[in-house]
Amino acid sequence: MTNIIEKKGKDGQYAYGVFKLYTATKAYRDLCYAANSSDGDGGESKTKVLAVPSAVALCLQVVSDLVLAADDEVNGGSKYVPDVKSAEYSAAAVTYMLPAILQEGDPARKSIQTEKACGEIATMLNQYANLPGTSAQGKEAALKASEKIKESSGSARPILEISHEQWTQYRKREGQPLDQFLSQEKGIEVDESGPLDFLPCVNSESQCSIL
């Protein structure tokens, strides 16, 4: 998936030669499904092998790029348009990897970074689920993942945090709007180390709050 995405392909499409992104994402989804099924209820030993933050971030990238490309009102949106099947497979892969992605840190603790990651990723998946062209399978996977991720914001989830940070860095490099998927449910305090470092309060003595 990394090789295909970095090559970018022609006309802004994710493609390299005859090997398409949907081929890679489908294979990855199938691996995640097999690992999840093998782990059984509550297990994560096999899904954890696949749920490396860079792979999780790539899946988030594919889905969010489709969401941004579908929104004509977004300034500085995605320059790349993944096909709908790639987004569907990526959303499903995230869902199958959730036992590992949402594994708690040791020792268990509260984490503002996890709260930010949960809110932003859940919002993005909800937006994807509500796109007119999203398949029934893609919508089901996205809504299921969104709900479980929102429920997990109460304690630190290291894999989710790192995956979110890598996804955020990609959006920064591409000049995408970093406020597109912010949750509006409650105010979130942020500083220059958070995902809202584009705000005017950065490098000042005070903090900002998004209401």
The tens digit of pLDDT for each residue in 163-209 reads 999 999 999 998 888 888 986 554 444 444 444 444 445 444 545 54
Strand, helix or coil at 128? Answer: helix
Q: Please count the structural domains in the chain.
A: 1
In the block, residue with structure tokens 């268990």: 108
Domain that holds residue 99: 2-186
Question: Quick check: is 22 in a domain?
Answer: yes
Residue-wise pLDDT tens digits, 34-73: 999 998 877 888 999 999 999 999 999 999 999 998 876 6
78 occurs within a structural domain: yes
Residue type, 116: K
Phi/psi at 170 (5° precision): -60, -45
Residue 180 in any domain: the answer is yes
Does residue 195 fall inside a structural domain? Answer: no
d(CA 161, CA 173): 19
pLDDT, one tens digit per residue, over 129-157 is: 999 989 999 999 999 999 999 999 989 99
Cβ neighbours for 47, distance < 8 A, ≥ 6 positions apart: 32, 35, 36, 39, 96, 97, 98, 99, 100
SS3 content of the chain, % helix, strand, coil (to 5): 55, 5, 40
Q: 53 lies in a domain?
A: yes
Q: Contact, 109 vs 118, CB < 8 A?
A: no
